[in-house]
A and B are shown apart, each in its own frame.
Chain A
Amino acid sequence: MSAETTERTRRTARDRRTARRHGRPTLLGRGAVNALVGLSVLYTLLPVLWLLLASTKNRDALFRSDLFSSGDFSLARNLSDLFAMEGGIYGRWYVNSLLYAVLGAAIGAMVSVACGYAFDKYRFRHKEKLFGLVLAGVMVPPTVLALPLYLIASKTGLVNTFWSVFIPVLFNPFGVYLGRVFSQGYVPGEVLEAARVDGAGELTTYFRVALRMLGPGLVTVFLFQLTAIWNNFFLPMVMLSDQSLFPVSLGLYVWNSSAVVTPDYYPPVIAGSLLAVLPLIAAFVLLQRYWKSGLTAGSVK
């Protein structure tokens, strides 16, 4: 059997080599392909580069829009202005965003992956109907829920509190879906059987054995939920009126509306945007391996 397999792999490898030789685009074609991809990369990178350069300019240089003159490099001043503006409220916003996003994504990912795991490994009546309800949650975008949530929160006195933003963002039905897919892929049933035979409790098995195998999936769900919460704008806008509870996104929105009237606000908005973008970019670059597998799992299945 193994001889046959090696023979087959050898043959497919050879076929593949010849196929690649024939299927390869011509030199001209390859140039065009690279040019197109290169242009798209420029399209996505240049605005971020502009943000980077613009945050080193003071107000006057910004409006002269000579981005590459190195004469007035005022990144440090812009940053100190940013944190001094309106009594240093930007720092507060940043901490709020971190709290909402990191804490929310950590708890939300745990909750949804546990649920997805249970959907995969246990059988009970009406399971697929229940899962259909979860998928309905994926289909209904959070913005539709924001207004009714506001009304409920105002009835229960939660409106304009930390919890009014924090609790709704924990809900991540797509995480349940991913959790189920990952559980199918990463946690073999035999392992659970073995743990049961050894007399380990179900929850102990989950936390000691399965969760470790689900690690990469958990990171993926965490990362996407982190992004979603960090990007969240509509819900905080609806729920919060106290500026000291704002996340960065809402704070920058408010400052931007002032910038239209007072151009002094432009440099802090730009520097503030840059700082708000950095942690996510860092997370995505460092955790590439995970989110790519997450997207693959989400799309192929």
Chain B
Amino acid sequence: MSSTDSTAPVPGRPPGPARPAAAGPQTAHPPGASGAVPADRPGARTRRWARRRRLGACAALMGPFFVLLVAVFLVPVCAAVWLSFFSDDQPGLGFGPERTVFAGLRNFEAALTDPTFLSGLGTAALYCVVYIPLMVLCALALALLLDSGAVRLRRTAQLSLFLPHAVPGIIAAIIWLYLYTPGLSPVIDLLHHADVRVDFLGVRMVLPSIVNIAMWSNLGYNVVIFYAALQAVPREVTEAAVVDGAGPVRTALSVKVPLVRGSAVMVTMFTLIWSLQLFTEPMLLSQATPVVGSRYTPNMYIYDAAFTRNNYGLAAAASVVLLVVTIALSYGLSRWSNRTADTSEGDSGER
């Protein structure tokens, strides 16, 4: 389609390369047809006018979003980086600290040598190591089962699996906390009858308990993503495999799975990004069990630093560390997946 090409980017309104005589309105509500322009060299004139109009419309359509992007994304990110280099002389005085001094890397040093921050990072890492593979494998397996054509009531099953996504994270955590609480929980009662005693909120079980809450909340969402990707696998490909004598399991594992690796990378990436932000579930569990301290995960550490200890510099430094770790890991993951995609021939069927 013909559109305006090669002119400056949007929101700040570009200085046009050629400067038409008329200072046309930027946001186009142009009066009638473009043919109304006076008729010396009508072609060029009209075209230039049309281009301006289009750019103006483009700016008007993109403007609101980019205002938001600057206000609630770029400015805060820069503010966090800026703040992490300063510290308050009199912490604990409430908002708008009196004296703020340049601290260099001291905040980073303080965060990175703080054993509670490091153990928070460790908890997040352990959580990722347990949760991400489990999630990707279970979601993919369920999607393959749904795609196998053997499942009755496929749409109902899919909808039921998806249902927890509509349950807010904090409420999912509340439901499971109660299901983990002796006296309230029918699960513990049942296990009790079978003579099994589990302390879901004990030292050993609390991390698996949190993983379970996250699994419950997000499994169906990822199943739907994988299922959609599997539906896009051309039927000829799987049929060819079947004609070649591959059984359903073999078809699923060696034909379908390689074809949805793009989705697998995406699911892994988003799961990773969100796992590093772990906050809601442990925050709620910390109300009920002493095992989950107030600095259990990096985000809880940040919250604690900012609002319990009023040390904004430290909190900002910890935020920056977490942000850098998140970006580095997701960038590394996407680079790694691109490289393996180039070398493996399994991807050739896609696109």
Contacts and interface: CB of A to CB of B under 8 A. Distances in A.
Contacts of A201: 28-30, 53, 57
Contact of A277 (B50, B150, B167, B221): B167
A32 to B, nearest CB: 9
Contact of A281 (B5, B163, B174): B163
Nearest to A144: B323
A298 B184 contact: no
Contacts of A281: 163, 166-167
Interface residues of A, number: 114
Contacts of A121: 1, 3
A159 B53 CA distance: 39
A299 B263 contact: yes
A59 B303 CA distance: 33
Nearest to B155: A288
Interface string A29-43: 110011011101101
A300 B327 contact: no
B287 A260 contact: yes
A50 interface: yes
Interface stretch (B102-110, B112-120, B122-130, B236-244): B236-244
Interface string B323-347: 1001100100000000000000000
Contacts of A196: 50
Contacts of B172: 47
Interface in A59-80: 62-63, 65, 67
A25 B145 CA distance: 11
Interface string A230-247: 110110011000000000
Interface stretch (B7-15, B37-45, B202-210): B7-15
Interface of B: 1-10, 14, 27-30, 32-35, 50, 53-58, 60-62, 64-66, 68-69, 71-73, 75-77, 79-80, 83, 95-96, 142, 145-146, 148-152, 157, 159-172, 174-179, 183-186, 189, 216, 219-221, 224-226, 228-229, 231-232, 235-236, 238-239, 242-243, 248, 251, 263, 266, 273-274, 276-277, 279-280, 283-284, 287-288, 299, 302-303, 306-307, 312, 315-316, 319, 322-323, 326-327, 330
Given A19-B242, A43-B216, A199-B32, 19 more contacts: A19-B243, A23-B242, A25-B148, A33-B150, A37-B145, A40-B161, A111-B64, A115-B66, A119-B62, A140-B327, A143-B299, A147-B319, A155-B96, A159-B95, A202-B58, A273-B175, A280-B166, A296-B231, A299-B266
7 contacts: A12-B235, A125-B8, A154-B96, A199-B32, A260-B287, A277-B168, A299-B266
